[in-house]
Amino acid sequence: MYESFYGFRTNPFTLVPDPRFLYLGKQHKTALNLLEYGLFNRAIFTVITGEPGTGKTTLLNTILEQSQHEVTLGVLSHTHAGLGSLMPWVLMAFNLDGKGMDSVELFKTFTAFIGREHQRQRRVVLVVDEAQNLGAAMLEELRLLSNVNNGRNQPLQIVLSGQPGLRGLLQRGDLIQFAQRISVDYHLQPLGEDETPAYIRHRMSMAGGARSVMTTQASVMVHRLTGGNARLINQVCDVSLAYGYAERAPLVTANIVWRATNDRRAGGILPVAQHALCDLLSQEEVVAEELEVAAAASPAPPQTAALPLPSAEPAAQSQQSYYEQGLALKQAGSYKQAIAAFERAATDVLQQVRAMSQVALCLSAVGRHEDAAKELVALLKSRQGTDIERLNIRYFLARTLETLQRNQKACELYMVIHKQDPGFRDVGTRLRRLSPGWSLASFSSPTWIKGFAKYYSQRLRACF
């Protein structure tokens, strides 16, 4: 539905564990390397655990897809304590017929299959998903099954994937022999707040998106609502993009994410806690996002050739402008590097206003509100930019001054804005809050307007 509106070739947040969408953050890269190590070094038992939705299945699908020409794969995914003997289910995982066989015949059938695959120089890999549902008796069956391996050849490898309860099960004293045969194990944690925006951008990029369609704070909001759980991130992003499409919003904001998630949560199925918007987003972050939205809405300058990159930059970014690099770094939360990129972009006079606006946004995002205010003041002094750009700069300067509790100066700026455009954003509301005696009617007197213009033009020249 929203794919074409936002420029995607396919749904970027499908719940299908597709290896193409695997995001190799620090944890997932480590887990993938360990899985590769276990698989290609013929580890008898490999264990990967994590909370539901952390990406275990996608990791497994990725490594098994890479090795599909070298292994024969069987997946046992519907595990539960009532399975009885495990051997019939193991045979079914490899499409082997064990109907009517007793336990000895089942074992012989499986070992014969292992022998045939070994002669074909293929290893047999059994993946047991949701392995926390296996009891001690079934795990002991798996241990005995692994005895088909001998000291020289390891034709059978077993990968256990499960929730944290699997680790507790394997730590039991009666399973010590099993635990001793585990060569590789790793526990996946949820994504961190710095990784979630990168994860979201990666999914969008893999779906064909040429740009990010969520603000930095929208991505942060997704993390705070989901705790970094990849599956929940996908669900929240999917419904948020649908809401953005319904509102024809060019950028999905934190407010859209919050409203979409609350509506979905109200159905009682999406497992996210209810939070007030003000508990999830600080005033500084609100200001930073509004500046980002305003900068994105500003008319883009004529296209110029991409500036050369320092040699330390990845080659894949060699075709991007410094401004585009800055946006990507800012989205990733790398504000220091983003500022450096925007400052280099600002050397192009056509990009100076929007680039330095982004510098102010980054400074505000890291709590450097004084520096952000100085950058905005410098932009006003330069007298560059379109009328709407300058209105936005003045507005966000006022918001920054509010954050710094300089309400009188903020009020003065809001009055200047109101004079230029009475309906601009929420200026009227902010004036009423900061100056209770202020009212729209006070602007009706021509004499008052002349006095206002003379007085505040002097004050603003003194400030800027």
Q: Where are the beta strands (DSSP E) in 43-95?
A: 45-50, 71-76
Strand order of the sheet with strand 156-162? 71-76, 123-128, 156-162, 45-50, 182-188
Helical axes 369-382 vs 352-365, angle rounded to 10°: 160
More confident residue, 211 or 97: 97
SS3 193: coil
Average pLDDT, the chain: 82
What are the start-end ranges of the E strands in 51-181? 71-76, 123-128, 156-162
d(CA 241, CA 259): 12
463: confidence class by pLDDT, cuts 50, 70, 90: very low
What does the pLDDT read at residue 81? Answer: 67
Q: CA 305 to CA 283: how far, in whole Å?
A: 37
Percent over 70 (pLDDT), the chain: 87
**125 pairs with which residues across the strands?**
73, 157
- Look at the block and give the residue holding tokens 């790398």: 334
Fold classified for 26-188 = Rossmann fold (3.40.50)
DSSP per-residue string spanning 383-394? T-S-HHHHHHHH
Percentage of residues in the chain having pLDDT higher than 90: 30
Local confidence band at 438 (pLDDT 50, 70, 90 cut-offs): low
With beta carbons less than 8 A apart as the criterion, state whether 340 and 364 touch: no
DSSP 32: H
Domain boundaries defined on the chain: 26-188, 191-281
123: amino acid identity, one letter? R
Q: Are 434 and 407 in contact (CB under 8 A)?
A: yes
Q: Which two tokens stand for residue 435?
A: 């100056």
Give the model's confidence band at 78: pLDDT under 50 very low, under 70 low, under 90 confident, else very high: confident
**Residues contacting 247, CB < 8 A, separation 6+:** 256
Q: What is the pLDDT of residues 280-310, one digit of tens each?
A: 988 778 888 887 787 776 554 444 444 444 4
Quick one: pLDDT at residue 162? 92
Could you tell me which residues are beta bridge partners of residue 45?
158, 182
Q: Cα 72 vs. chain centroid, distance in angstroms?
A: 34
pLDDT greater than 70 at residue 205 = yes
Residue type, 256: I
Span 81-97, pLDDT tens digits: 666 788 888 999 999 98
pLDDT 10s digits, 353-382: 888 888 888 888 777 888 888 888 888 888
Q: Is 60 exceeded by the pLDDT of residue 456?
A: no
- Mean pLDDT check: name the lowest of 165-169, 253-257, 336-340, 432-436: 432-436
Give the amino acid at 321.
S
Same fold, 26-188 and 191-281: no
* 423, two tokens: 């309906």
CATH number of 191-281, picked from 3.40.50, 1.10.8, 1.10.10, 1.10.3470:
1.10.8
Q: What is the pLDDT of residue 211?
A: 75
Give 49 or 390, the one with higher predicted confidence.
49
Q: Is 50 exceeded by the pLDDT of residue 313?
A: no
Provide mean pLDDT across the span 407-418. Answer: 87
Angle CA(45)–CA(46)–CA(47) in degrees, nearest 5?
120
Return contacts of 277-280, CB within 8 angstroms, 24+ apart: 280/221, 280/224, 280/225, 280/254
Q: How far is CA 175 from CA 85, 140, 167, 180, 232, in A?
A: 18, 8, 11, 9, 34
- DSSP letter string, 181-210: TEEEEEEEPPPPTTTHHHHHHHHHHHTT-S
Cα–Cα distance measured from residue 373 to residue 363, given in angstroms and rounded to the nearest whole number: 9
Residue 245 near residue 5, CB atoms below 8 Å: yes
Select the more confidently predicted residue: 332 or 433. 433
pLDDT band at 152 (very low <50, low <70, confident <90, very high): low
Q: Report helix, strand or coil for 102.
A: coil
The pLDDT of residue 447: 41
Backbone angles phi, psi at 284, to 5 degrees: -60, -40
The reported pTM is: 0.68
Q: What are 4-21's pLDDT values in tens digits?
A: 999 999 999 999 988 889
Across 121-125, 417-421, 431-435, least confident range: 431-435
DSSP-assigned beta bridge partners for residue 128: 76, 160
- Give the model confidence (pLDDT) of 224-272 as tens digits: 999 999 999 999 999 999 999 999 999 999 999 999 999 999 888 899 9
Provide the residue type at 258 as one letter: W
Identity of residue 437: G
The answer to whether 442 and 452 have CB atoms below 8 angstroms apart is no
